[in-house]
Structure 1
């Protein structure tokens, strides 16, 4: 989920081209409102979003039993060590900084999707 339509579409197109089924949301609250209907293997989140930021969204995903298993990737312009540490402390599975390499995004999502499907 990214509040920037261009970035959201870039992520969706790249993942679609690699065979992933993609559902998008406009912000963190939209993500949380829809996640149980979609039950994705992986969620990409921007940190800076209106209504509910990526930190809070990731934390809520992690603390709810029904969504705690979903792999989370933060994709953000916030590249400070403190930001990475905060994300990893919340329990995100990967952290990519903007501008990101679409090939790296695909590799990360593919790896996390495979690991997510292997859960018991």
Structure 2
């Protein structure tokens, strides 16, 4: 795995939230790559080869739940651990479960809860084999909200 604990693809339309998640995970030894929405996530996921993906639900172009469904439908990403990190409604939780989301973390969240969740998913990842470093230009148990 890259980084001490692995590589995380953080997908959120809020730059502030992306940076908050990035800083907290990098301080704990994760390598973090970010995307601004689900469409960008799908564009970069194969090059990034993350160990875990975190997705916001409400995003422009392609929301988090539709992104999760597309990731699950692709044999190359179908087993990647996916966590929804969002202000989830009960409907979002049900839809997420129906597309195979692995875990949920409600916003606002405590940084340690985020770190614990990502660590647990990275450790359980079926993609835990060694990753190649990114090129310099590269930019559950079900949990209740």
Q: What is the TM-score of this pair, normalised by structure 2? A: 0.78
Aligned: 1:25 with 2:18? no
Distance in 2 (CA, whole Å) between partners of 1:28 and 1:118 is: 21
Aligned CA distance change for structure 1 residues 107 and 39 (closer, same or farther; 3 Å): same
Q: 2:80 matched to which residue of 1?
A: 70
Distance in 2 (CA, whole Å) between partners of 1:9 and 1:20 is: 14
Distance in 2 (CA, whole Å) between partners of 1:39 and 1:33 is: 12
Number of equivalent positions:
119
In terms of fraction of residues, the more strand-rich structure is: 2
In terms of fraction of residues, the more helix-rich structure is: 1
Aligned: 1:99 with 2:117? no
Distance in 1 (CA, whole Å) between partners of 2:52 and 2:127 is: 13
Note the residue ranges of structure 1 that are not aligned, 5 or more in a row: none
The aligned runs of 1:70-89 (5 Å cut-off) are: 70-78=80-88, 80-89=89-98
Q: What is the TM-score of this pair, normalised by structure 1? A: 0.94
Q: Deviations over 1:65-95 (max 9, x none)?
A: 00011100101112x3222111111101111
Note the residue ranges of structure 2 that are not aligned, 5 or more in a row: 1-10, 130-145
Runs of 4+ in 1 over 2 A off after TM superposition: 117-120
Give the CA deviation at 1:117. 4.5
Distance in 1 (CA, whole Å) between partners of 2:12 and 2:110 is: 16
Aligned CA distance change for structure 1 residues 118 and 67 (closer, same or farther; 3 Å): closer
Instruction: Give the number of the structure whose alpha-carbon radius of gyration is greater.
Output: 2
